[in-house]
Chain A
Amino acid sequence: MRRLVGVALLLAALAPAAVHAADEADPPKRVQWSFDGLFGTFDLPAARRGLQVYLDSCGTCHSLRFVAYRNLLEIGLTGDEAKAIAASHEVRDGPDETGAYFMRPAGLADRFVPPFANEQAARFANGGAYPPDLSLMYKARLRGADYVYSLLTGYGDPSPDVEFAPGMNYNRYFPGRQIAMPQPLLDGMVQYADGTPATVDQMARDVLQFLAWAAEPYLPVRHRMGLGVLVYLLLLTGLLYAVKRAVWRDQH
C-alpha cells in the first residue's frame, strides 16, 4: 500500500513536467547561476554589465516599472552614475506654483521611465506585439533565469517547412517557436567598460544577473538571513529535543 502512495507522490511530482510538455517549445537550457543555492548571491560586476545591456537593448522596448534609479546604488553604481542614467529620461511633474505641469529630468527617486507612453503606443511601435515589463520577468516564468537566457540565445534559422506569421522570428524556446521580438543581442553590440568581450552568451548571462536582481533585490539578504535563522532553529530544535528526552525519561 505504501508503495502505491509512493507511486502517486512520484506522479504528483512529475505533474509540472507533464503540463509543459504540451507547449510546443524546447525545455530551457540549464545554467549554473551565482544566485542559486544556499549561499547564492548576485555577481555585481555582471549585473552592472547587464544594466548596460538593458539600457542599450532591452530598455528601448521593455519597461522596468518597479525598479527605481536609486536602487542602482545596490548593484554598486555611484550616486552620480545613477543620476546620470536617470537624467537621460524625462518625467512629467507638477503642478508648479502656477498650476502648470512640466517635464523635468528624472532623478534618483523616480522609477525607470518606460520607453512608451502606454500599451497602445508600445503595440503601435512593435507591429502589434506588447513588450512585457521586465521588473518581475525572472519570477514570472517557470525557471525564469534559465528560460530568459535560453530565449535570448535561442534564435536561429527554422527548418524550411515552418510557416511564419508576418513579422515573427524563430526561437525554439518560445511557446509555439515563433516570437515577435527580433533577436535582441548581437555579438559586440555593446562596449563593456571592463573589457569583457560582449558575446551574445556573455550579454545574456549578464542581463539575467541584472533582471534577477531587478525582480528579487533582497535575494542576498534573504539567503544570508536564512542561514542565520536555520542555524538558530537547528540549535533550538536540538535543545528542545534534549529537553523532551529528559522530561520523558521516566516514561521509557
Chain B
Amino acid sequence: MAGHDDEHLLHNEIKLLGVLGWVEYRLPIFNWINNAVGTNYPTPKNVNYFWNFGSLAGIALVIQILTGIVLAAHYVPTADGAFASVERIMRDVNYGWLFRYAHANGASLFFAVVYIHLFRNLYYGSYKYPRELLWWLGLIMLILMITTAFMGYVLPWGQMSYWGATVITNLFGAMPIIGDELLLWLWGGFTVGEVLLRGFYSLHYLLAFVIAGLAIVHIWALHQHRSNNPLGIDIKGPQDILPFHPYFTVKDLFGFGIYLIVFALLVFYAPNMLGEPDNYIPADPLQTPAHIVPEWYLLPFYAILRAVPDKLGGVIALALALLVLFAVPWLDTSKVRSARFRPIYKQLFWIFLADVLILGWVGGSPPEGMFITIGQLATVYYFVHFLVLLPIVGKLESPTPLPDSIATAVLEENKRKKARKLPQVGVAPSASHGASSGGGH
C-alpha cells in the first residue's frame, strides 16, 4: 500500500499468470490488496482481541452504508412525509423493518466499537510517535460520525428528532456576532423545519462516504508504521511478526462472528432498547418532551455541554473536549507506549474511563440537584486528566522495564502458560513472572 521505511519483513509477493497476470501488469491491484490485508502485510504477532475493533469498525460502516442505501430509497425527506415514510418502511416495504432496525442498532454498535477502539488506543499508547496522524484521522472520523449520527437521528422526524435538532442547532446561535445569522442560514428559516430536514438528509448520505474515504486514508497511514501492539514496542525483525493473512484474517472473521451475534440479539430481540420511546411520537413543535436526551453514545458530550451554566461556555467546553484529544500525543510526555509498563498511568486510565461513564450517566439524567455537581466535577476531571495529569505523570513515573522484543516476550508468555497447565511437582518454576502477568486485561 505504501513504501515502508524499514527492511522487508515478508517476501510474499504474488506472481500471477493469464488474465490476472495481464491485469496485474497494468494495474497491480492484487499485490496491492495482498500488501494491505494479505500474506505480505506484517502484523505484530502479539496483538490481542482489542485489535479486532479496527476491522470491526470498518465492517460496521459497510453495514450502515448498505442498509442506509435501501432506507434512502424509501424515505421521504419532508416535514409532513418523513414520519409516515418511516412507518411505511416498517410495515409495507419488504423486510423494511429489518433494514431500519439494522441501521438504527448498527449505528449504536458502530459507536460502541469505535469507543472500544479509541480506549484501546489510549491504554496502549498507540497515538504516540510515529502514529500521530493516524490518531488524528481517527478523531476526524469520530467527529464526522457524531455529526452523521446526529443528522440521521433527526430524519425520522419524531419528537426526539425534532427537539434534539432544536437543542443542538441552537448551540450555533451562541456564537458571538455571527450566531443569529449562522442559525438563520443553518435552519433555512426561523425555526427547525423542512429545509433543515432536507439538508440533513443530503449531508447524512454524503458524510457516510466521506467517512469511508477517510477510513481508507486511515488504513494507509496505519500501514506506513503498522499496528502498535500490547507491549508498545516496535517490530525489530521477522521473528516479531506474522503475515496478516491467514493469521489475522481468520482472527478478524471470528471477531466479526461475535459482533454479528450481538448485532442479531439487538436487531431481532431488543430493537428499541437503545432508542428513545418519544421518537415514535411524530414531531410536534408545540410540545416539548419532558427530557430531551441524545442517543447513549453522545451522553458524555451532552453532560460536558450542560456542565457549564453559560450556553456559549458549554459549546466551547464541548468543542474543547473533542479538540483536546488531538493534542494527546504531545500532552502525554512518556516515551513508553503501553500502560502495561506504566504503573501510575494504568490507574489513571481506569479512573478516566470511569469518569467518562459517569459523564454518560449524568448526560442521561435530568439536569437538577446532585447531577449538576457531579457533572461539573466529572467535566473538570476530564480536562484535568489530559491537561494536567497526562503531562506530569509522563515525567514523574518510572516505567517498569520493557521486554527486549515482541518475540522474546511471546516466548516467555507461552512458557508461562505451559507451566500453568502442567501439574506443578516439587520445584516452583520461574518465580519471575509476577511482574507483568497482571497487566492488561
Contacts and interface: CB of A to CB of B under 8 A. Distances in A.
Interface of A: 1-2, 4-5, 7-9, 11-12, 14-16, 18-19, 22-23, 38, 66, 71, 132, 135-136, 139-142, 144, 175, 215, 217-218, 222-223, 225-227, 229-230, 233-234, 236-237, 240-241, 243-244, 247-248, 251-252
Contact of B350 (A1, A23, A236): A1
A16 B351 CA distance: 23
A11 B261 contact: no
Nearest to B265: A230
A1 B258 contact: no
B254 A136 contact: no
A218 B353 contact: no
Contact of A19 (B251, B265, B272, B365): B365
B278 A23 contact: no
Given A2-B350, A136-B280, A140-B277, 16 more contacts: A11-B361, A12-B361, A16-B364, A66-B84, A139-B272, A139-B280, A226-B268, A226-B269, A229-B264, A230-B264, A233-B264, A240-B250, A243-B250, A244-B253, A248-B250, A252-B417
A240 to B, nearest CB: 4
B329 interface: no
Contact of A251 (B45, B271, B361): B45
29 contacts: A1-B346, A4-B354, A5-B350, A8-B354, A8-B355, A9-B357, A12-B357, A12-B358, A19-B365, A38-B269, A66-B87, A135-B87, A136-B280, A136-B281, A140-B277, A222-B268, A222-B271, A225-B98, A226-B267, A226-B269, A233-B257, A233-B260, A236-B257, A237-B254, A240-B254, A241-B257, A243-B250, A243-B254, A247-B247
B108 to A, nearest CB: 14
B360 interface: yes
B287 to A, nearest CB: 10
B272 A226 contact: no
Given A139-B280, A140-B278, A8 B91 contact: no
A240 B254 CA distance: 5
Interface of B: 45, 84, 87, 90-91, 97-98, 101, 242, 246-247, 250-251, 253-254, 256-258, 260-261, 264-265, 267-269, 271-272, 277-278, 280-281, 290-291, 346-347, 350-351, 353-355, 357-358, 360-361, 364-366, 368, 414, 417
Listed residue (A2, A142, A230) with the most chain B CB atoms within 10 angstroms of its CB:
A230
Contacts of B360: 12
A99 B326 CA distance: 66
Question: Which one of A136, A142, A248 has the highest number of Cβ atoms from chain B below 10 Å of its Cβ?
Answer: A136
Given A23-B290, A237-B261, A142 B277 contact: yes
A237 B268 CA distance: 18
A156 to B, nearest CB: 24
Contacts of B357: 5, 8-9, 11-12
Contacts of B281: 132, 136, 140
Determine the main DSSP class of A at the interface with B.
helix
Given A226-B268, A244-B250, A4 B414 contact: no
Contacts of B366: 18-19, 22
A223 B354 contact: no
Contacts of B87: 66, 135-136
A236 to B, nearest CB: 6
A4 B268 contact: no
Given A218-B97, A237-B261, A225 B268 contact: yes
B97 A244 contact: no
A45 to B, nearest CB: 23
A229 B268 contact: yes
Given A240-B250, A252-B414, A66 B91 contact: yes
A133 to B, nearest CB: 8
Contacts of A12: 357-358, 360-361, 364
A215 B281 CA distance: 12
- Residue in A7, A22, A141, A244 with the greatest tally of chain B CB atoms within 10 Å: A244
B257 A240 contact: yes
A19 B291 contact: yes
A243 B368 CA distance: 53
A144 B261 contact: no
Contacts of B365: 15, 18-19
A169 to B, nearest CB: 21
A249 B414 CA distance: 12
Contacts of A222: 97-98, 101, 268, 271
B261 A233 contact: yes
A5 B357 CA distance: 8
Contacts of B347: 1
A227 to B, nearest CB: 8
Most chain B CB atoms below 10 A, which of A14, A16, A247: A247
Given A66-B84, A139-B272, A237 B277 contact: no
